[in-house]
Structure 1
Amino acid sequence: MEKFYHFLTLAGIVLYWLLVAGVTLRAVLKHRSVSVSLAWLLIIYAVPILGVFCYFLFGELNLGRKRAERAKEMFTPYESWFTQLNECQAHSRETFGYHISRIDELCNNRLGLPSLSGNTLTLKNEPQEILRSIINDIESATTSIRLVFYIWHPGGLADSVSSALIKAAQRGVEVKLLVDSAGSANFFKSPWRKMMQKAGIHVVQALEVSPWRMFLRRLDLRQHRKIIVIDDQIAYTGSMNLVDPAYFKQESGVGQWIDIMVRITGPTVNVLSAIHSWDWEVETGARALPPQPKCAVDESNALHPIQVVPSGPGMPEHLISQVLSLAINQANHSVRITTPYFVPSVDLLDTLKLTAQRGVKVDLIIPHKNDSLMVQWASRAFYTELLEAGVEIHEFYGGLLHTKSVVIDEQFCLVGTVNMDMRSLWLNFELTLAIDDEHFTKEMFELQDSYIEHSHSLKLEEWKKRKVYYRFFERIFYLFNPLL
């Protein structure tokens, strides 16, 4: 019997190391950055068994066979729809500024999707104002409402939005609601789901979380977009989930979440509607592309060109990351970034350092306290080399700063759903707007000013004096970069 157990032990060890060898080969041969591959190898070898298990769950971009096949088949018809927009009067490249022109070229060549002028933009940064504006527009809807959100959390004015949607459906408006399964778990447990479905609202759970599917699809691949489209006339997008911050994560100890949304009218609305249609079809298989936008533009008014930049499985790889790098590299005077989760890739880190080293003022504004302790420690692992390169880091004390924004030279900006981490830039379904509008950008810059006023600006000498165990935790959590 002792020999039998000895044999089982040896067999188990051999099988385990064969498994580790196989996973190592897969991690090394997978086409991605060297830093990510090395980080995964450290996890696999430093955390026995659990490291291999984590790689199977989170190590590769796996949408699931059915969705992946569907997304691949969808690309051609959607690219055709996007490409037709190039014939619009709203795509008038001679009126574009320098920043948007380069981004228009990139998105057009990779996705067929051009920048479009003729939009109106309203920046909204107070949660009550945002939710009441959404409710008012829903109450005026006559034909259709399309929504996609990562988090839909019952409570406060979020319930008033749900009530407004139910009333809209009852008066004959077609309502399609797509919400992420993991982010909106509380919504699916609440009575609101059944109440909405009873009223005729089409409620779809995106990327359903199930223990039976954990090895068939990457679990942390999430539907992270935030889009509302009403009657193909009005749209909202930005960083805010469908939550009332006064009723959301009050026990987390980070304060209320600080967010923005952008209210849009004009040709870009139909593009956002098409992105919602893409997400709906990936999940359900049902196609419902919106009509092409009305492209007449009054050139006597400000043109407000916008480039919609989507990302996620089925879309061109790394498109948002490329747009971000292109925008930062074009900066001549200043770059300001706000992000709640800062765990940059090697390429993004080098871009920020190089930009600061060539004399451009680079400000990074991130929350002092984060709802993810791992991200908070991992973020700080980058502080020293950023500060040494001349990047100014401001830790915000007024709550969880959740706004995702980049302002270039006070003339051009990026706003949307994308965090400065590997998951947002490489994995999730995300959305960014590149906005070439000086007035809107000035508003965004002034809002960033208010964030800095409620922040503590770090100094390199002060930072170097932090405690030794701080440095230890920073490096430990830095190893988990691929999971953050």
Structure 2
Amino acid sequence: MQFTSFHALISTMILLGYWLIIVATTLRIVFKRRPMTYVVAWMLVIYILPILGVILYFALGEAHLGQQRVKRAQKMRPTIANFINKISELQGIFTGNVSQVSKPIFQLCKHQTGLEGINGNHIELLSDTDAIFDRLIEDINQATSNIEMVFYIWNEGGRADDVEAALIQATKRGVVCRLMLDSAGSRHFIRTDASKRMREAGIIIVEALKVNLLRFMFRRLDLRQHRKVAIIDNYISYTGSMNIVDPRFFKQNKHVGEWVDVMVRMRGPVTTLMGAIYASDWELETGDYLALPKITDFAEPPEEKKHIMQLIASGPGYMENMIHQVLLTAIYSAQEQIIFTTPYLVPSDDILHAVCTAAQRGVEVIIIIPKKNDSLMVKWASRAFFSELLDGGVKLYQFNDNLLHTKSVLIDNQLSLVGTVNLDMRSLWLNFEITTVIDDAEFAKSLSLLLQQYLSQSEEVNVEEWKKRPFWQHVFERLFYFFAPLL
């Protein structure tokens, strides 16, 4: 009897302990004030998967940086605040004289960062892979002082090898080259002979957010450095959707075709802000201080009232939900037309409703996504949103043959957003991302021509045909929709 009583006591204590863990985790999820679909998804995970669900939540459910990075972020704040105060005092570089459709976004940016629109930039849209590599390599070859890069993926082969060669030659001229690569996205390259050659040549390579199962108690395991940025001599900068990969040599075994990307090449004051973001990322990752660039150092005089811009950076340690707020503001500001391109369509409830509302108030809303996708889960999760989007009056197009990887938004042929941000939960809430906000009709025209080219290579999703899809597809869509807030 004593053994039975002891066994019952232990069982009761274990059950009570488990119940307390579940209650504590549930309260933690609720108090984070995330979107309701996110909350419900995680609560189902911890209830359906005993113990394992709780472990998964603390490993993947919160965007915690780890104590060291949090301390570094806190240490950097006064420096960044001082930098912003200094540049905001400069005359002629910042302006509030923006277009009507862009005004709400620039007002939001000023409230959040203290900076108005950055005036007088020279920018160009590059959409051909070889042209992007040619311009980047040409700029690297002309560098005289420093080159800073951060990329999610670096993959050997083709034109990527040409970039490697150009960087090695730059170090031989005395140019300081710093390269930050995401640990997960570039895991194969970091351990290649090419990476070794670059290090031996003097290129500083940092593996960002190292993937290590032992670290999950101290930092979220799947937090990723998803930016794509290159800065040359603090004069020229690039950002956009393209990694340092030649699409002819990248993921050919996935049978999705070649990746289709864009990059924006920028000269002028905006590059200084890009340099400040890079310096913050570098110190956050390495703990080493990187001198902030001087805003008065330009490759050439800025153009008057030309290419008014802002840069929006996101990620732990940055302004929370900033990119999400910018997207919502842009959607609600549109009066005539919105065109999105995104490889991964898993929107938040707020963006889903904003897009459908825009379509219902007479705005033409077009979303272009790839027909083939390299992520099976994202493919089916995306399809779960099709019915609501189509019923809301949104036009969906599927890009044929290749994987459309461009991340862009065009509003009323005036306001452009181009960068690294996908319309999915990871980009909106978690990863280190960056996007350019460009208020310029000339640039918008270039982007519009490119988007029309994409549309000519796409098929519109027909509402009636979509409703006739097989029942098993409905099942798959609902199954993967359950994971949508976690993707």
Q: TM-score range by the shorter chain?
A: over 0.9
Q: Distance in 1 between matches of 2:236 and 2:270?
A: 9
Q: Which residue of 1 aligns with 2:216?
A: 214
The structural deviation recorded for 1:229 is 0.5
Q: Which residue of 2 aligns with 1:144?
A: 146
Alignment partner of 2:476 out of 462, 473, 476: 473
Q: Which residue of 1 aligns with 2:119?
A: 117
Structure 1 residues 251 and 10, CA, compared in 2 at 3 Å: closer, same or farther? farther
Contact 1:233 1:269 in 2 (8 A): yes
Q: Which residue of 1 aligns with 2:137?
A: 135
User: 1:67-88: per-residue Cα shift (whole Å, max 9, x none)?
Assistant: 0121122122113212333233
Q: Distance in 1 between matches of 2:156 and 2:10?
A: 52
Paired residues in the alignment total: 484
Structure 1 residues 335 and 195, CA, compared in 2 at 3 Å: closer, same or farther? same
Contact 1:143 1:231 in 2 (8 A): yes
Q: Distance in 1 between matches of 2:11 and 2:157?
A: 54
Structure 1 residues 358 and 188, CA, compared in 2 at 3 Å: closer, same or farther? same
SS in 2 for 1:98: coil
Structure 1 residues 2 and 461, CA, compared in 2 at 3 Å: closer, same or farther? farther
For 1:442, give the aligned amino acid: K
Q: Which residue of 2 aligns with 1:393?
A: 396
The structural deviation recorded for 1:283 is 0.7
Alignment partner of 2:181 out of 176, 179, 194: 179
Contact 1:91 1:114 in 2 (8 A): no
Q: Which residue of 1 aligns with 2:366?
A: 363
Structure 1 residues 163 and 300, CA, compared in 2 at 3 Å: closer, same or farther? closer
Q: Which residue of 1 aligns with 2:75?
A: 73
Q: Distance in 1 between matches of 2:221 and 2:193?
A: 26
Contact 1:90 1:296 in 2 (8 A): no
Q: Distance in 1 between matches of 2:216 and 2:303?
A: 55
User: 1:250-308: per-residue Cα shift (whole Å, max 9, x none)?
Assistant: 10121111100011111111111111111001011222211123589978755111111
User: 1:358-406: per-residue Cα shift (whole Å, max 9, x none)?
Assistant: 0000001111111111111111111111111100001111311110000
Q: Distance in 1 between matches of 2:78 and 2:140?
A: 32
The structural deviation recorded for 1:455 is 1.3
Contact 1:155 1:243 in 2 (8 A): yes
SS in 2 for 1:99: coil
For 1:234, give the aligned amino acid: I
Alignment partner of 1:354 out of 333, 336, 357: 357
Matches within 5 A, 1:445-484: 445-484=448-487
Q: Which residue of 2 aligns with 1:233?
A: 235
Q: Which residue of 1 aligns with 2:446?
A: 443
Contact 2:309 2:437 in 1 (8 A): yes
For 2:137, give the aligned amino acid: I
Alignment partner of 1:248 out of 234, 247, 250: 250
The structural deviation recorded for 1:194 is 2.0
Q: Distance in 1 between matches of 2:415 and 2:24?
A: 47
For 2:481, give the aligned amino acid: Y
SS in 2 for 1:232: coil
Structure 1 residues 452 and 50, CA, compared in 2 at 3 Å: closer, same or farther? farther
Structure 1 residues 299 and 251, CA, compared in 2 at 3 Å: closer, same or farther? closer
The structural deviation recorded for 1:422 is 1.1
Structure 1 residues 53 and 300, CA, compared in 2 at 3 Å: closer, same or farther? closer
Of the structure 1 ranges 112-121 and 161-170, higher mean CA displacement relative to structure 2 is found in 112-121
Q: Distance in 2 between matches of 1:161 and 1:300?
A: 30
SS in 1 for 2:144: coil
Q: Which residue of 1 aligns with 2:193?
A: 191
Q: Which residue of 1 aligns with 2:169?
A: 167
Does 1:317 find its partner at 2:320?
yes
Contact 1:155 1:244 in 2 (8 A): yes
Q: Which residue of 2 aligns with 1:154?
A: 156
Q: Distance in 1 between matches of 2:383 and 2:117?
A: 36
Of the structure 1 ranges 413-422 and 285-294, higher mean CA displacement relative to structure 2 is found in 285-294
Contact 1:182 1:209 in 2 (8 A): yes
TM-score, normalised relative to structure 1: 0.95
The structural deviation recorded for 1:13 is 5.1
| Percent identical | 47
Structure 1 residues 103 and 262, CA, compared in 2 at 3 Å: closer, same or farther? same
Q: Distance in 2 between matches of 1:126 and 1:295?
A: 27
SS in 2 for 1:335: strand
The structural deviation recorded for 1:160 is 1.1
Alignment partner of 2:62 out of 56, 60, 70: 60
Of the structure 1 ranges 29-38 and 152-161, higher mean CA displacement relative to structure 2 is found in 29-38
Structure 1 residues 211 and 263, CA, compared in 2 at 3 Å: closer, same or farther? same
Q: Distance in 2 between matches of 1:184 and 1:247?
A: 15
For 2:124, give the aligned amino acid: T
Alignment partner of 1:307 out of 299, 306, 310: 310
The structural deviation recorded for 1:328 is 1.2
Structure 1 residues 350 and 197, CA, compared in 2 at 3 Å: closer, same or farther? same
User: 1:404-448: per-residue Cα shift (whole Å, max 9, x none)?
Assistant: 000001111100000111111111111010101111111111111
Ranges in structure 1 where 5+ consecutive residues have no aligned partner: none
User: 1:137-162: per-residue Cα shift (whole Å, max 9, x none)?
Assistant: 10110001010111111111101101
Structure 1 residues 295 and 122, CA, compared in 2 at 3 Å: closer, same or farther? closer
For 2:432, give the aligned amino acid: F
Alignment partner of 1:263 out of 265, 290, 300: 265
Calculate the aligned-residue CA RMSD, in Å.
2.1
SS in 2 for 1:209: coil
TM-score, normalised relative to structure 2: 0.94
SS in 2 for 1:264: strand
SS in 1 for 2:101: helix
SS in 2 for 1:308: strand
